[in-house]
Amino acid sequence: MVSFVRLAAACAAVLVIQFGDLRAQEQSLRPELRPNWDATTRAPAMPVLVAATASSVLRPQLRPLAVAEPAPPLVQKTAADAGFQRWIKAFRGRALAQGISGGTFDRAFRGVRYDPDVIKRDRNQSEFTKTIWEYLDSAASDTRVKNGKSALRKHRRKLEAIEAKYGVDKEVVVAVWGLESAYGSFKGSNDVVQSLATLAYDGRRGRFFEQQLIAALKILQNGDTSPRNMTGSWAGAMGHTQFIPTSYLAYAVDFTGDGKRDIWSDDPSDALASTAAYLARFGWVKGQPWGVEVKLPRGFNYALANRKTKKSPGQWAQLGVVGVNGQAVPNYGTASILLPAGGQGAAFMIFKNFGVIERYNTADAYVIGVGHLSDRIKGGPEIKARWPRGDRALTFSERKEMQRRLTAQGFSTQGVDGKIGPKTIEAVRAFQRSEGLAPDGYASLSLLKKLR
């Protein structure tokens, strides 16, 4: 769901995957720019398309939990609530100065209260660390694949029409839908205006959330939905494919032609078309895979496994990098090699469409999850390579410790932030070379122990 702009940077990661930073950047209109929640780690079971089976929302990045909750209890006029009401009065002037009518504002804020639970969620997004294989076990589970095929059959005609209009493979659109809201079964029930207003008033990321709140008011003023029907996650991600308000304004489409861009209704047409429009906007190449699982030759130069090194499949084949069938990968265009778990796990040859999905969510795990799920929905096989399942992901404190120790030993990570990004990976590779290890850049627990 997508472009849906920057909530990622806006919220601390709920789920951190060891091999990469899951937070989106605030510089671009992307769907991942909002906090995220991984239902597999702490959510109650949700209804799905297959009876008696749970298929949860699965986003590695920064989006908050969007779970249905009981009606809020009556709130006494606490100091926070009184301050919140004063903030609303001041914000009204700022909103009207940006083109929001008084009527729209007053309707949107009727009954809105300070929601301490939103602040609690924002403050307590615990770090649930997962390995790539644990994430993919859920992202492309048998249940999620089965439900995806069922959703594709049920909505085939509209999905084919969307594919024809936007040139984005229908299985990819369905896979995004599956990871964002479990195919529409879990869209979130928080009042978006109330949640965004609470977060904007809180001030920790006030400027960002006020921007989202203005965008939400513009959506209401345009008549796309009503205030209390505008529901979503506690941090404002909305609808079947979880757009945040600024992304919605930039990329949502009215596919049904009823004059509204309705991403909330039981009919997912507008939401699915909006997702396709978003991916198309960022350069989706029809018929090109996101990536292909490959086999690396013995003695492969791991320094070549980075996003900046691009070669044609034929050139990679000359270096011994071939598909799992032992044949050269078809010429889908230039590609890079990605090793999400280092040399001990699966290897992928990734193409331009990997980067397009990445605009939706910057986490490698999410992109691989969407891509692999879409392949499975098409009838493709499971990932062939074995993962190093004996490993566990590093905790946040351990990642920071690794960065400190690498830097202290002369392999600077250019900062200690707990994110295993390109600079840390290069530092890991330099240390591995100094120790005579395969320089695959994999930040493992065994590597940390060696640094100690």
Residue with tokens 């029907």: 229
Which phi and psi (to 5°) does residue 168 adopt? -110, 130
Instruction: Give the per-residue pLDDT at 121.
Output: 87
Q: What is the pLDDT of residues 179-207, one digit of tens each?
A: 999 999 999 999 999 999 999 999 888 99
Q: What is the pLDDT of residues 313-326, one digit of tens each?
A: 999 999 999 999 99
* Contacts of the segment 250-254: beta carbons below 8 A, 24+ positions apart: 250/3, 250/5, 250/29, 251/2, 251/3, 251/4, 251/29, 251/277, 251/278, 251/281, 252/224, 252/277, 253/277
Instruction: Give the per-residue pLDDT at 13.
Output: 35
Q: Is the pLDDT of residue 395 over 70?
A: yes
pTM score, whole prediction:
0.82
Q: Is the pLDDT of residue 53 over 60?
A: no
Q: What is the pLDDT of residues 400-443, one digit of tens each?
A: 999 999 999 999 999 999 888 889 999 999 999 999 999 999 99
The catalytic site residues sit at 180
Give the confidence band of 79 by pLDDT, cuts at 50, 70, 90.
confident
Instruction: Give the per-residue pLDDT at 128.
Output: 52
Q: For 176, what's the count of Cα atoms within 13 Å in the CB-facing half-sphere?
A: 32
Beta-carbon neighbour count of residue 378 at 10 Å? 16
Q: How far is Cα 87 from Cα 198, in angstroms, rounded to an integer?
A: 10
Q: How far is Cα 188 from Cα 359, in angstroms, rounded to an integer?
A: 22
Q: What is the pLDDT of residues 225-278, one digit of tens each?
A: 999 999 999 999 999 999 999 999 999 999 999 999 999 999 999 999 999 999
